[in-house]
Amino acid sequence: MSAEIPAPGEMGVTVIDGVGTIRVYSENATSIQLVIFEPDEVTQIRRTIELERGDGPIWSATSHHLRPGIKYALKADGPNAPRNSFNNQLFLIDPYARGVVRQNAREYHCVVIEDSFDWQGVTKPNIPLDELIVYEAHARGLTRGNPKLPDELRGTYAALGHPATIEHLKKIGVNAVELLPIHMFISEPRLMSMGLINYWGYNSINFFSPHPRYASSTAWSQGPQAILDELKTSIRELHRNGIEVILDVVYNHTAEGGGGGLTYSYRGLDNSSYYRMDDNGHFHDTTGCGNSLNFGNPHVVHMVLESLRYWTTELQIDGYRFDLAATLARNEINHFDPNHPLLRAIVEDPIFKDSKMIMEPWDVGLGGWQTGNFPDRFSEWNDRYRDDIRRFWLSDVAAARNSGNHWNGVADLATRLSGSRDIVDGPSGPLGSVNFITAHDGFCLKDLVSYDVKHNQMNGESNRDGTNGNHSFNHGFEGSGSAPEIAAQRRKAARNLMATLLFSAGIPMITAGDERLKTQNGNNNAYCQDTVMSWVNWELSRHQRDFEETFAYLTKLRRENPVLRPKAFGNFNEANVEHDMVKWFNSFGEIMTDENWHDTECRTVQRYSEQRDAQGLPSGMLLVIHGAERVQEVTLANPDGVSELELLWNSAFDVPSDEIENWLPQAKTLVSGTSMQLFRCVF
């Protein structure tokens, strides 16, 4: 395969002095045509231009008809072979198109875009990783139900940057919105035949143009240029308010599906080069979605890099979460390579110097679970964190109710609180771990503490879809309608989970709606549910308002106390400007022993964290965690130099207390069943 790679910015359509040039990649085509349509007659072709092949696999043509606002498509022909799918009757999407419009059920036209935009001097916030609190949200679902928004803006790009949305984000203390996919995508035919759609958007058909359905009706009617400007405006306003925008990007596969899938773009231009296939034309699928892009092909790597550069520069995006990232790092023989050219290029390209790069470090192929194996430049979704924290607060408590014994003690919990050094032991320290309890995929927080099993019947797959390994606990009653006592236990469990997340070393990520205990009625795979069930709820009960108040208070504690968000792994001996000191105490106020660590019924632990500033002045926090349902007497730890302990928060209560209680080290206190207490240390 040719290694001739075009320079950055050359592919697709470029317009200079009113004259456009298009460049298209295809190794195996025998001819490629550029079709230009009449502006007001979408079925009328104004001109057809033959592209010429250069010395390598890049085809090009230049025309004064290619200018901003013009609609165009590609046609390609080539040999009839098992690995090829050429059909010169189909209009194809330019893989580098900045604007795409749907003309009918099967046909899409590209639009030449003008990239100029007035950013009004607003720049990226460049929030340090240790200060980041990521809010994973759906671009439509976040705002669709917000009554403070005008009806015509709900669920749109414009709503993301609206003052009502920004007010909420700032109120709860998050500073980065991670948007589920907004690259243009298509719903699978199977879903559409059932009257459903792909709501989440993990089915991209173009990596350069924003999904048009999230635009306001006004922008939609005006076309791709207006849609792009609407999105840029919201990004600008979020940045103006100190909130970053991270995109969930799906470069691992496309909406063209497997061997029986439809042809929209890549398949028609060069099926055998864009996708991983064997000589018989069978797809090597490591994504579970029918196809996998071929990252052993340097031209596919180049396309992804160009997409990232475009969104980083032209749309000022702050970072990316790479879906099924193990597929992106599979080499020419389909093996995961931590030194893959794509990863290396991201590390070395100065355009991405300040970009957050977050990997979902797995796929469904052989050797696909690669948590902890990506280069140090990348932070990784930590599924071990999710599972261990859920076990401690939920399934272990359920086991004790059922059998009288817990399955785990505090050892795994302490490892996750400390930044998961067993997984991400690199120069990034704990910031190599993106910690989460929930994500778009799986139970939301309210359902995690309310259901023992998934309830996905609405998805039309007889409840076969979605994971069964949830580590959830319904606290004695399945679903809504529980007794007040059970409802109170669930709220406390949710507070414990959220506080553990925000008091852990690493980058915390929460799912939109969890801050106010939204429910999906037990659906742990709501990918095809564009309904009020999936949208963030804006009409809140008293308990939901209380939980949101608690969440905002917890983010405030994390923001105001750097000792709760260390940049490096802790040390048992001393605190200095390079690293904090962390010590662990048992319920008697004594240093934890090996016997304590290995005892599955040792369910109480105290974490003392101490940090020193540049002048050597200390700050410290004592976190008391009790993971059994009985009340526990605890002798508070007595760290060196600490004269007093101020109780800042107790998870036993629905809302934070307005008063700070003062305690002495070594004082005895009663800790409620399954609860946490956070003390600030006075030196």
Rounded Cα–Cα distance for residues 95 and 300 (Å) = 10
Q: Which of 229, 360, 515, 580 is catalytic?
A: 360
Nearest to 373 by CA among 339, 407, 322, 327: 339
Nearest to 140 by CA among 515, 529, 538, 535: 535
3-state secondary structure of 499: helix
In the DSSP assignment, the letter for residue 68 is T
Nearest to 345 by CA among 309, 294, 293: 309
Phi, psi of 251 (to 5 degrees): -95, 0
- CA angle in degrees (0–180, nearest 5) for 123-129-131: 85
Nearest to 74 by CA among 270, 303, 209: 270
In the DSSP assignment, the letter for residue 392 is I
Nearest to 642 by CA among 661, 658, 662, 613: 662
3-state secondary structure of 14: strand
Rounded Cα–Cα distance for residues 640 and 263 (Å) = 68
The residues, ordered by sequence, that sit 6+ positions from 659 with a Cβ below 8 Å of its Cβ are none
Q: Which of 256, 270, 323, 363 is catalytic?
A: 323
Rounded Cα–Cα distance for residues 20 and 69 (Å) = 12
For residue 298, how many C-alpha atoms fall within 13 Å in the half-sphere facing its CB? 12
Burial 40-50, CB ≥16 within 10 A → b, else e: eeeeeeeeebe
* 596 sits in which H/E element: helix 594-598
Rounded Cα–Cα distance for residues 96 and 12 (Å) = 5
What sign for the dihedral angle of Cα 127, 128, 130, 135?
Answer: positive
Rounded Cα–Cα distance for residues 507 and 356 (Å) = 11
Nearest to 327 by CA among 385, 377, 369: 369
Rounded Cα–Cα distance for residues 225 and 103 (Å) = 16
Question: Residue with structure tokens 């991400």?
Answer: 424
Rounded Cα–Cα distance for residues 634 and 491 (Å) = 23
Contact 200, 223 (CB under 8 A): no
Nearest to 273 by CA among 96, 429, 108, 83: 83
Rounded Cα–Cα distance for residues 587 and 590 (Å) = 7
323 classed as catalytic? yes
Contact 609, 591 (CB under 8 A): no
Long-range contacts of 459-468 (CB under 8 A, 24+ apart): 459/196, 459/523, 459/525, 459/526, 459/527, 459/528, 459/529, 460/194, 460/196, 460/528, 465/525, 466/442, 466/523, 466/524, 466/525, 467/442, 467/524, 467/525
Rounded Cα–Cα distance for residues 67 and 83 (Å) = 35
Rounded Cα–Cα distance for residues 261 and 147 (Å) = 40
Rounded Cα–Cα distance for residues 448 and 411 (Å) = 23
Tokens representing 203?
A: 């089915």
Question: Residue with structure tokens 């940045």?
Answer: 239
Catalytic residues: 323, 360
